Amino acid sequence: MKSNSSAKKLTALVTGGNRGIGLATVERLAREGYHVILAARDMESADVETARLRNEGLRVESQALDVSSSTSIDEAVASLTSRGIIVDILVNNAGVLPKGTLFELSEKEIADSLAVHVTGPLRLIRALAPAMAQRRHGRIVNISSGWGSFAEGLGGPGAYGWTKAALNALTLRLSRDLPDSVKVNAMCPGWVRTRMGGADANVSPAQAADTAFWLATLSANGPTGGFFRDRRPIEW
């Protein structure tokens, strides 16, 4: 484990942290010495992964959080506050991938896509970022996708690409509304071997988590309001 004293004083919250890119990001941050809140909708798997990491001596706690529910977000923030936990780093990783065109998706699938990719992250940022600004330190990482890039063709199934594009737009807008001490960036992890990406994908969760870790731990002169893949800027 990293002995960096500054890392030990910082806490990261990762949504959708019970598997895939989210879990890999939790592990990377924890192994580098950060205190990590593994937030997930599926608490059974979240508790299993948290116990595994804690058994390795890592500072990880689980937290129930459904980012599509404003009530769940409010309850999670209240729970963290009651436990005296201050969030310095927020990684908005939770995602959904309903299949079908916009004409085939149900109203619920469209609403869930918007909630998980756009309004949920915004609610969490609105809840946590003001305190980051007061402390003059914060890092927000929005896990987006090349499918949300106009430059790359706005691809993916019906609701995925355009809601990720909205997340990208939100990232850029927030960078103008937040002080430079609170860095907010979006990233494309690539095609990752997860339940969503499938077994044929060419990027491991750990490889994808590297850029998330980098953005979560940027120095004071690091970028804000950008879109990145493999630690390099890409076009919106």
pLDDT at residue number 158: 87
Q: Do residues 110 and 31 make contact, with C-beta atoms less than 8 angstroms apart?
A: no
One-letter amino acid for residue 212 of the chain: A
pLDDT at residue number 144: 97
pLDDT at residue number 195: 66
pLDDT at residue number 193: 59
pLDDT at residue number 4: 66
Q: Where are the alpha helices (DSSP H) in the chain?
A: 5-8, 20-31, 43-55, 70-82, 107-114, 120-135, 160-177, 205-216
Active site residue 160: yes
Q: Give the CATH number of domain 5-233; options: 3.40.50.720, 1.20.120.450, 3.40.50.920, 3.30.2390.10.
A: 3.40.50.720
pLDDT at residue number 137: 97
Q: Give the tokens for residue 56.
A: 């390795």
Measuring CA to CA, how many Å separate 174 from each of 29, 125, 220, 235? 24, 9, 17, 18
Residue-by-residue pLDDT tens, the chain, 236 positions: 444 667 778 999 999 999 999 999 999 999 999 999 999 999 999 999 999 999 999 999 999 999 999 999 999 999 999 999 999 999 999 999 999 999 999 999 999 999 999 999 999 999 999 999 999 999 999 999 999 999 998 998 889 999 999 999 999 999 999 999 999 999 999 766 566 666 676 678 889 999 999 999 999 999 999 999 999 999 99
Q: Which of 62, 109, 128, 160 is the catalytic position?
A: 160
Q: Give the tokens for residue 205.
A: 């969760």
One-letter amino acid for residue 25 of the chain: T
SS3 204: coil
